[in-house]
Structure 1
């Protein structure tokens, strides 16, 4: 067992995890700016990119590179510095350190060495997109980036098919078309999805629809910008045995709560239960 009192004075330094804006520099917090000014060193995913941020906020703290390709080399160096009393802020290019970005290995090393790790709140693309998606915001399941290899990506999606939570993924523009196509094949063309593009930036955009519709959109559109993909969860009740299944109207309501349009929910429930769609429609609307 280990207890950390984040702001208790010790002989060692500490690690601050400082989120940076995901696009709009106005989202940088006062505390984040002050922390970057006050620490002895900033461990940056890309020092050139971070320098632009530092210049904007007139921060003169020195940087050291810390990214996925030099983790093994840098971690012992940074731990040694903190044990000697150095305070370090770790930043990624955008958003939260450790969330689909470098950081988790350094955090684990600090915890093992009993060096305090102090997190700052700030920008996060996944949650920013989720609250405006129109899908059920909680519970949610954050996945991040899927595997780049097609066969492995399909396997990952198959394993996710039973999740009832809204699922959140990240994707680069040049891989979006393939990823959406795989999602449509595995989850079904009628399944609800929301794309959030260029969050907090001038061309911020939300594209909402079914996977079939979004798949067609990716084929007809010149895709630009970084994407958050949010996929409605799956209702487990529909695969339950008849004796424990919920009433038909409740099954429909659950799908609607998960983000599916009313008529699509009625169609899916009717199919799952072997019922006539028009009969289910009339009963649901009390016609």
Structure 2
């Protein structure tokens, strides 16, 4: 079978006993960076020296078939450099190929930067979306944020320290300067820091320079943030992409808080 194993995102004491046991017994490990895995084995005091196979963004497509066939008869432990494989890390292609081939996939749960950042953000946690990394280019980044401006769920992003200030400025421009944001830096590490404030406040803070690994948690839009005509426009946009009018109004109603019946009638009037 294929075993996805969550590894520490910073503090090595977060390595679970199941992870240590799996590393101790593993014969073959598919690792995002074999050097990082070697360091993990050494720091955890694990004497086992399994065969290490590189599995990263540049070779996963080519390697997936071979590794799936190997996993038909052997256990394959899969590691990313930190956190859970497949979550903004290599592994999704391998899992998809394994599912298609009928090979068992299981997981050893472990630390997650997404959940950790969400938990300490001080923002609503009952409904959230993980959006991964924002685009590097400003125009593309603003386009992505513009499409998410009316998302009512709390949103979690990853960002590089070099682009954080620019991204937060774009958040302020597209979501509003007062949208609440939390920036979690170096989670579980010695210099862990969580900054909370408005998008404009944190953009100014980040402009002074930020280091480390970054997760950004952004408050979802309030229902009142989406005007009724804009909500109707969202319904029409969904119908143009092939969604049934009834389903489109239900989806937009859930996101904006506007009456599904009123949205349906308004959209129908426009269409007719």
Whether the TM-score (by the shorter chain) exceeds 0.5 is yes
Contact 2:150 2:226 in 1 (8 A): no
Partner of residue 192, structure 1:
180
1:96 matches 2:84:
yes
Instruction: Report SS of the residue matched to 1:37.
Output: helix
**Matched length:** 227
Superposed CA offset, 1:50-99 (max 9, x none): 1100112214222110001111221122122122x121011100001000
User: Quick one: structure 1 residues 187 and 74, their matched pair in 2 at CA, closer, same or farther if it must change by over 3 Å?
Assistant: same
User: Quick one: structure 1 residues 190 and 70, their matched pair in 2 at CA, closer, same or farther if it must change by over 3 Å?
Assistant: same
Partner of residue 10, structure 1:
none
Superposed CA offset, 1:116-174 (max 9, x none): 00111110001101111111111011111111121111110001011111100001111
Q: Once the 2 structures are TM-superposed, how far is the Cα of residue 177 of structure 1 from its aligned partner?
A: 1.4
1:25 matches 2:12:
yes
Q: Once the 2 structures are TM-superposed, how far is the Cα of residue 213 of structure 1 from its aligned partner?
A: 0.6
Partner of residue 193, structure 2:
205
TM-score (norm 1): 0.76
Q: Distance in 2 between matches of 1:102 and 1:49?
A: 14
Structure 2 runs not aligned, ≥5 long = 230-272
Structure 1 runs not aligned, ≥5 long = 1-13, 243-287
TM-score (norm 2): 0.81
Q: Please say which of residues 154-163 and 51-60 is displaced more in the overlay.
A: 51-60
Partner of residue 140, structure 1:
128
Q: Distance in 1 between matches of 2:43 and 2:79?
A: 16
Q: Once the 2 structures are TM-superposed, how far is the Cα of residue 240 of structure 1 from its aligned partner?
A: 4.8
1:65 matches 2:57:
no
Q: Distance in 2 between matches of 1:116 and 1:238?
A: 45
Superposed CA offset, 1:36-63 (max 9, x none): 2223210000001111001122142221
Contact 2:150 2:225 in 1 (8 A): no
Q: Distance in 1 between matches of 2:226 and 2:67?
A: 51
Partner of residue 265, structure 1:
none
Larger Rg: 1
User: Quick one: structure 1 residues 60 and 235, their matched pair in 2 at CA, closer, same or farther if it must change by over 3 Å?
Assistant: same
Superposed CA offset, 1:220-278 (max 9, x none): x2310011100001012343559xxxxxxxxxxxxxxxxxxxxxxxxxxxxxxxxxxxx
Q: Once the 2 structures are TM-superposed, how far is the Cα of residue 113 of structure 1 from its aligned partner?
A: 0.9
Out of 54, 61, 66, the residue aligned to residue 77 of structure 1 is 66
Contact 2:60 2:91 in 1 (8 A): no
